[in-house]
Amino acid sequence: MFRLLRSCLTLALLAGIAGCSLLPSRDPVSISVVGIEPLPAQELELRFAIKLRLQNPNETAIDYDGIAVNLDVNGQPLASGVSSQNGRIERYSEEVLAVPVSVSAFTALRQAVGLNPAQSLNGMPYRLHGKLAGGLFGTVRFSDSGTLSLPAAAGY
C-alpha cells in the first residue's frame, strides 16, 4: 500500500513539473505612469485619473478584464483605485489606460504631516504597483517607480 502511494505521488510530482514547463514564459509587461489628471472629488477625498502606458513585449496578446493599482508616495500608501475596463494588448504593442484613484483626506493629511513646510508632494518618489486581471493564469502584476509631477490644479 505504501509503495503504491509513493509511486502515485512521484507520478503526480513529475506530471506537475512537466505541466509547468509547458506553460509559455512571458516577459514582464512594461507599465509606466504617463500622466495624472484631477477628477471631481467627494467631500473627504481627492480623486485623480492615473494614465498608464502598458507595453506588451511578448509574442502573444494579453487579454485583461479589470485593473487594480496602488500608489505609494515617499514610502507611504497614498492612493488606490480599480477599474473594470477590459481589452486586449496585442503582441508587441502598447496601450494607454486611465485608472481613477482616490486619496482620503486622512491619508493626504498623514502625507502632509510628514513633509516639512518647504516640501510638497510634487517631485517626491513614488511607487505604483498593481495587476491586470486576466483569469487564473492570465493575471499580470506590475510595478513602476519615479518622481511625482502633479498638475497645478490639484492643489498640492
**What is the mean pLDDT of the segment spanning 104-121?**
66
The residues that bridge with 46 in the sheet, in sequence order, are: 103
**Gap between the Cα atoms of 156 and 154, Å rounded:** 6
Q: What is the pLDDT of residues 55-99, one digit of tens each?
A: 999 898 888 899 999 988 888 888 899 999 999 989 999 999 999
pLDDT greater at residue 12 or residue 76: 76
Q: How far is CA 73 from the centre of its chain?
A: 14
Nearest-angstrom CA–CA distance, 114 and 42:
24
pLDDT at 144: 84
Average pLDDT, the chain: 79
Q: How far apart are CA 43 and CA 156, in angstroms?
A: 17
pLDDT at res. 73: 84
Overall pTM > 0.75: no
Report the pLDDT value the prediction gives residue 18, as an integer from 0 to 100.
57
116-128 mean pLDDT: 71
Stated as kind and residue range, the H or E segment containing 27 is: none
Q: Is the pLDDT of residue 139 over 80?
A: yes
Query: How would CATH label the architecture of 26-151?
Result: Sandwich (2.60)
Q: Which of 31-35, 108-112, 119-123 has the lowest mean pLDDT?
A: 119-123
Q: Determine contact, residues 32/50, Cβ cutoff 8 Å.
A: no
29 or 99: which carries more pLDDT confidence?
99
